[in-house]
């Protein structure tokens, strides 16, 4: 009897605890892995049980939808009667019947492994989705306990100059007792409760203050280093009686422990506008693609590559003329869509430009009805005339 109770307890843990543990382990991954163990033991057990129930329900819904709408089928040989009988045996402290044969044990293992794998994948996917969509910045329910992560990364909320696509790095000035350090932030180390344990900075410099009268010899030597463009010494400022400079601290990383911290000043330094980089890349790519499309069209007009079956040479020639035009308009639409600056400053002009581009694209796509024998040439001309008339009336109404 005691063996059955212990065995059934293990089954309960494997079914109603492990999926939640795996889901939370995958969700609290990366720089937030310490939050997996946040809170007391009782809270963590409750969260794991709740997550396990949600994982079991999600797994059943996923399998049902997959089998309903997908041509592939996922079938487990353990059906509802076997699972119901198993839990009845557990309730009565009996050995479940599914462990009576080797085949059923393997089937049970396959089912549990599928649930565990589903929990891990779903936890990791939701973690990535939350950060990709920026949901943790908009909704507090998605925010992790480590608020330092949000303070040390430039966003529109904490940096008024931040725009979509901009890249910033974080620079910190750290006061430690009577000393001041500055450098690029590498990482803020914190405990399970989110309290700062230490700050690690790269390219660290320490501020020094010298008296203009008493330390005149040292100041002269430092000025000589600065004049020689010594990267380890940087002039900062000068007052009526003080000469202030920064000196590089040797080493790749410099760590300041919590006991020595007094305050931190955070600055966001702009690296580049990622939006402009994308736009320049798209322009170069568009130029290359247009060149290739032009070469292909001229070649196809001269030599029949037999990619399509045309009724006459005129239709093939018309195809070679219309296709690069449509391709160029399509590229123009893509470049216009990525013009976020216009969207932010003049949203009406942004959408109007896209609408005009689609109008022109549709107009130059109508000849394909004649090229591929959907309509006769005369009917195609009529369709283009009607389209132009209706479009002109629409644009006059808009104006």
> DSSP of 151-196, one letter per residue?
HSS--TTT-TT--TTEEEEEEEEEEETTEEEEEEEEEEEE-TTS-E
pLDDT at 176: 82
Average pLDDT over the chain, rounded to an integer: 79
Question: What one-character DSSP code corresponds to residue 140?
Answer: G
Position with higher pLDDT, 137 vs 365: 365
Would the pLDDT of 172 be above 70?
yes
Indicate the range of 209-213, 278-282, 291-295, 346-350 predicted with least confidence. Answer: 278-282
pTM strictly above 0.95: no
CA-nearest of 92, 63, 91, 94 to 78 is 63
pLDDT at 272: 64
Question: What one-character DSSP code corresponds to residue 242?
Answer: E
Q: Provide the pLDDT confidence category of residue 205 given band limits of 50, 70 and 90.
A: very high
Whether 185 contacts 170, CB under 8 Å: yes
Whether 148 contacts 170, CB under 8 Å: no
- CA distance linking residue 301 with residue 298, whole number of Å: 5
């Amino acid at each position: 009897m005691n063996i059955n109770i212990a065995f059934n307890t293990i089954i309960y843990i494997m079914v109603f605890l492990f999926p939640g543990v795996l889901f939370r382990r995958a969700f609290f991954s990366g720089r937030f892995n310490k939050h997996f163990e946040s809170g007391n033991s009782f809270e963590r057990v409750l969260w794991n049980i709740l997550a396990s129930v949600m994982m079991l329900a999600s797994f059943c819904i996923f399998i049902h939808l997959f089998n309903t709408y997908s041509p592939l089928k996922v079938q487990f040989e353990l059906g509802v009667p076997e699972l119901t009988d198993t839990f009845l045996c557990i309730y009565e402290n009996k050995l479940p019947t599914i462990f009576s044969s080797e085949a059923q044990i393997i089937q049970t293992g396959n089912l549990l492994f599928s649930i565990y794998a589903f929990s891990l994948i779903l936890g990791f996917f939701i973690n990535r989705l939350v950060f990709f969509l920026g949901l943790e910045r908009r909704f507090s329910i998605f925010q992790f306990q480590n608020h330092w992560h949000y303070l040390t990364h430039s966003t529109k909320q904490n940096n008024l100059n931040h725009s979509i696509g901009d890249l910033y790095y974080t620079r910190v000035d750290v006061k430690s007792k009577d000393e001041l350090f500055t450098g690029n932030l590498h990482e803020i180390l914190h405990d399970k409760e989110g309290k700062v344990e230490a700050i690690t900075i790269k390219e660290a410099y320490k501020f020094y203050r010298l008296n203009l009268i008493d330390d005149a010899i040292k100041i002269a030597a430092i000025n000589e280093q600065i004049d020689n463009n010594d990267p380890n010494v940087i002039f900062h400022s000068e007052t009526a009686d003080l000469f202030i400079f920064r000196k590089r601290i040797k080493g790749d990383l410099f760590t300041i422990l919590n006991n020595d911290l007094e305050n931190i000043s955070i600055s966001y330094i702009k690296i580049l506008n990622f939006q402009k980089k994308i736009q320049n890349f798209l322009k170069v790519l568009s130029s290359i693609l247009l060149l290739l499309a032009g070469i292909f069209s001229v070649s196809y007009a001269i030599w029949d590559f037999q990619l399509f079956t045309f009724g006459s040479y005129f239709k093939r020639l018309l195809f070679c003329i219309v296709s690069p035009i449509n391709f160029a308009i399509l590229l123009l639409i893509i470049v216009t869509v990525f013009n976020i600056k216009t969207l932010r400053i003049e949203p009406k002009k942004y959408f109007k430009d896209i609408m005009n581009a689609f109008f022109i694209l549709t107009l130059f796509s109508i000849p394909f009805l004649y090229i591929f024998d959907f309509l006769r040439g005369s009917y195609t001309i009529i369709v283009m005339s009607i389209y132009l008339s209706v479009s002109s009336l629409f644009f006059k109404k808009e104006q």
